[in-house]
Amino acid sequence: MGLKMGFEGRAFRNTGTWGSPTWVEMTILRNTTIDRSYEEWDATTRAAQGEKQTEPTLRVQAIETEIVWDSTDANCTAILTAFNARTSLELVFLDGAISGASSQGLRAKFKVFGLPRSEELASGMTLKVSLKPCYEITNLPTWATMT
């Protein structure tokens, strides 16, 4: 795979179904952070002789991204609608193209948990989008490799 630059990352929104996806690239994204971490459980016992021991429990996966405010863009509208209606979006955040490049990244159904709009005087308006995987029984969040 080799070295990847941040601008090579791609995000896509599924307008089809999980099993038969129709991916639409989200070109209005700017800076994106994919947080993958674990919550921690204190596993310390007396047998540790004063040393703290920790074990990972629930995996936490979240996306923080920034999009250019464009009320005529279908992806911007989809994010706004999902936030206002508290509905989910199926998204995938990859390190490259959607097909043919063995790109990998986080695929899940997300809900929008934060949507502050920046209106700085010397720049264009942007939305800071906070996404987290939502309640889903069948199609769980996955680290996907697209071929």
Task: For the chain, give the secondary structure using H, E and C.
Answer: CCCCCHHHCEEEEECCCCCCCCEEECCCEEEEEEEEEEEEEECCCHHHCCCCCEEEEEEEEEEEEEEECCCCCHHHHHHHHHHHHCCCEEEEEECCCCCCCCEEEEEEEEEEEECCEECCCCCCCEEEEEEEECCCCCCCCEEEEEC
Q: Is residue 49 part of a domain?
A: no
1 within domain boundaries:
no
Global pTM reads: 0.90
Inside any domain, residue 115: yes
Residue 68 lies in a domain: yes
The per-residue pLDDT for range 54-82, each reduced to its tens digit, is: 999 999 999 999 999 999 999 999 999 99
Number of domains in the chain: 1
Q: Domain range holding 20?
A: 6-42+54-146
Within a domain: residue 48?
A: no
- Percent residues over pLDDT 70 in the chain: 99
Considering the domain boundaries, does residue 24 fall inside one? yes
Establish if 47 belongs to a structural domain: no
CATH of the domain at 59: 2.30.110.20
